Amino acid sequence: MKLSLLGAVSTYVLTGLILAVLATAAIGQDAPKDNDKPDAVPAYMATATYKKSTMCKMCHKAQGTGWATTKHASFNKELPWDAPGAAKPAPEEVYRHVTGYNADGTYSEKGITCEACHGPGSAHIGAPMATKKNFIVNPADLKTAGQKISICGRCHGQYTIGDQKIAVKFQQGQDLLKTDGFKLDKVEPGKPMQEMNELVTSKHFKHGVVCINCHTSHSATATEHSLQKPIIELCQGCHKDKVMATHAPKAPADATCATCHMPKGVHTFRKPGEGDDKD
Give residue 249's pLDDT.
Answer: 94
Give residue 52's pLDDT.
Answer: 97
Q: How many domains does the chain have?
A: 2
- Pair (55, 192) in one structural domain: yes
Percent helix, percent strand, percent coil in the chain, to nearest 5: 45, 5, 50
For the chain, the distance separating the N- and C-terminal CA atoms, rounded to the nearest angstrom, is 94
- Pair (68, 138) in one structural domain: yes
**131 falls within a domain:** yes
**2 falls within a domain:** no
- Pair (193, 245) in one structural domain: no
- Pair (264, 135) in one structural domain: no
**73, 65 contact by CB (below 8 A):** no
**10 falls within a domain:** no
- Pair (132, 258) in one structural domain: no
CA geometry: angle 240, 157, 53, nearest 5 deg: 90
- Comparing C-alpha atoms, which of 219, 180, 194 is closest to residue 96? 194
For residues 238 and 32, give the distance between their C-alpha atoms in angstroms, rounded to a whole number: 31
- Pair (96, 142) in one structural domain: yes
**22 falls within a domain:** no
**Residue at which a domain ends, from 170, 204, 238:** 204
For residues 82 and 172, give the distance between their C-alpha atoms in angstroms, rounded to a whole number: 28
Give residue 221's pLDDT.
Answer: 83
**234 falls within a domain:** yes
Q: pLDDT tens, position by position, for the chain (279 residues)?
A: 444 444 444 444 444 444 343 333 334 444 544 444 666 899 999 999 999 999 999 999 999 999 999 999 999 999 999 988 999 999 999 999 999 999 999 999 999 999 999 999 999 999 999 999 999 999 999 999 999 999 999 999 999 999 999 999 999 999 999 999 999 999 998 899 999 999 999 999 999 999 999 999 998 888 889 999 999 999 999 999 999 999 999 999 999 999 999 999 999 999 987 765 444
Residues composing the chain: 279
CA geometry: angle 124, 114, 190, nearest 5 deg: 140
Q: What is the DSSP string of 21-68?
A: HHHHHHHHHSS----S-TTPPPGGGGT-----HHHHHTT-HHHHHHHT
Residue 110, strand partner residues:
98
Give residue 127's pLDDT.
Answer: 97
Q: What is the DSSP string of 89-126?
A: PPHHHHHTTEES--TTS--SEESS-HHHHH---HHHHH
Give residue 51's pLDDT.
Answer: 97
> Is the sign of the CA dihedral 77, 80, 85, 87 positive or negative?
negative
**168, 130 contact by CB (below 8 A):** no
**242 falls within a domain:** yes
Residue 122 domain boundaries? 43-204
**185, 124 contact by CB (below 8 A):** no
For residues 138 and 173, give the distance between their C-alpha atoms in angstroms, rounded to a whole number: 9
- Pair (146, 233) in one structural domain: no
- Comparing C-alpha atoms, which of 141, 121, 130, 142 is closest to residue 60? 121
Give residue 228's pLDDT.
Answer: 94
**148 falls within a domain:** yes
- Pair (153, 236) in one structural domain: no
- Pair (125, 243) in one structural domain: no
Residue type, 26: A
Cβ contacts of 30 within 8 Å, gap of 6 or more = 42, 43, 44, 47, 123, 135
**Residue at which a domain ends, from 167, 187, 204:** 204
For residues 37 and 44, give the distance between their C-alpha atoms in angstroms, rounded to a whole number: 16
- Pair (190, 237) in one structural domain: no
